[in-house]
Amino acid sequence: MSFLRPKTKIDEGDTVIIFLGVNSMHSIQATPTVVNRKGEEVEHIFQTSFGALKVRSIIGLEYGNQVKLSKGWAYILQPNPQLWTQTLPHRTQIIYTPDISMIIHQLDLRPGSVIVESGTGSGSLSHFLLHAIKPSGRLHTFDFHEARAKQAQDEFQNHGLSEFVCVYNRDVCEFGFGTQLEGKVDAVFLDLPAPQLAVPHAVQVFKKQVLNICAFHAGGRFCSFSPCIEQSQRCCEALKNHGFTEIQSLEILQQENQVKTKSLSLINLDFVKQKKPLNSSTEEKQHLPSKDVIKVLTTFQPMTHTGHTGFLTFATLPPVFAR
């Protein structure tokens, strides 16, 4: 239940983050014992680069406490979507924070929003979406792989998020999102190899606005994540053919500017205004330019840049009367 709301103490069964450093974190479940490969129940001891941690010892402690390992120290943190993305078990390639922040912003998510996600995968984005739409929103997430859908459902249950999410095992490109979601969704997110096949089904699930007797599609926001530009192009064509507007594809590249103090040489050129001495070598040395050194705080780009992650295609489905 450690994802549901802020907590003070660690309870048995909570998912916790073992923080060793900015680039060294692990997620574990706070259980005193585990079952080994032989089916035997043994003491839960977690091995880290700074030594072993007896997990039983952290139950009942407050989050944020420093615990002693056999070769150093670690901090026990309460998980959040950002930390979970860096420590979760990878079942598939995942979407990271730079892309996720743009997705949540562009989909205009807020508490109470209803969103469909196709391509649950490892659940990285799902936890961010749930964090944005709680406590009155709802996430409907689909995955065609039965085992991955079951693992995601178990994770949501263990994290205390099951009341806000429904997990489905279905190929939405062929069978759609189901009649139970028609006219009930504010936003749609797709992470599929062929997103253009799911666009016609996405049109059907956006919310409807009832005016007098007739019902009109109120529309909503759409996003698709594609590693290749050809996938994004085919998705854009399908979106245009089905009445979507404000279609755009973005690529989010994270760049770190390094800040350093550099020493710069300054040359005094006043000597050029004076006549050069004819015979005196001593006077000639005295008129040589003087070199002063100053220290300047500068920023510059690193020699290597972060590689390509994927293309984000966004679009808006307007109401039927506005198309």
My answer on whether 106 and 63 are in the same domain is no
In this prediction, residue 161 carries a pLDDT of 92
39 is in an annotated binding site: no
Place of tokens 């594609």: 226
Give Cβ neighbours of residue 285 (< 8 Å, ≥ 6 apart): none
Q: Is 212 contained in some domain?
A: yes
Q: What is the pLDDT of residues 73-101, one digit of tens each?
A: 999 999 999 999 999 988 888 998 889 99
284 token code pair: 């000639």
171 is in an annotated binding site: no
Q: What is the pLDDT of residues 98-137, one digit of tens each?
A: 899 999 999 999 999 999 999 999 999 999 999 999 999 9
My answer on whether 126 and 38 are in the same domain is no
Is the pLDDT score of 296 beyond 80?
Answer: yes
My answer on whether 19 and 74 are in the same domain is yes
Last residue of a domain, one of 79, 106, 139: 79
Q: Is 322 contained in some domain?
A: no
305 token code pair: 């840049």
Is the pLDDT score of 210 beyond 70?
Answer: no
Q: Which among 99, 177, 97, 181 has a CA at the least distance from the CA of 144? A: 177
267 token code pair: 């040359």
My answer on whether 73 and 109 are in the same domain is no
pTM of this structure: 0.81
In this prediction, residue 213 carries a pLDDT of 47
- Phi/psi for 216 (5° steps) reads -120, 145
My answer on whether 139 and 182 are in the same domain is yes
Q: What is the pLDDT of residues 58-69, one digit of tens each?
A: 999 999 999 999
Q: How far is CA 95 from CA 120, 121, 167, in A?
A: 11, 10, 19
Last residue of a domain, one of 53, 79, 105: 79
Reported as half-sphere exposure (CB side, CA atoms, 13 A), residue 269 has a value of 2
80 token code pair: 């959040």
My answer on whether 107 and 32 are in the same domain is no
Q: Is 39 contained in some domain?
A: yes
My answer on whether 170 and 24 are in the same domain is no
Last residue of a domain, one of 44, 64, 79: 79
Q: What's the CATH code of the domain at 53?
A: 3.10.330.20
123 is in an annotated binding site: yes
125 is in an annotated binding site: yes
| Domain tally, the chain | 2
Whole-angstrom Cα distance, residue 168 to residue 99? 24
My answer on whether 57 and 187 are in the same domain is no
My answer on whether 90 and 232 are in the same domain is yes
143 is in an annotated binding site: yes
Q: What's the CATH code of the domain at 239?
A: 3.40.50.150
My answer on whether 13 and 145 are in the same domain is no
Domain span at 58? 9-79
Whole-angstrom Cα distance, residue 223 to residue 117? 10
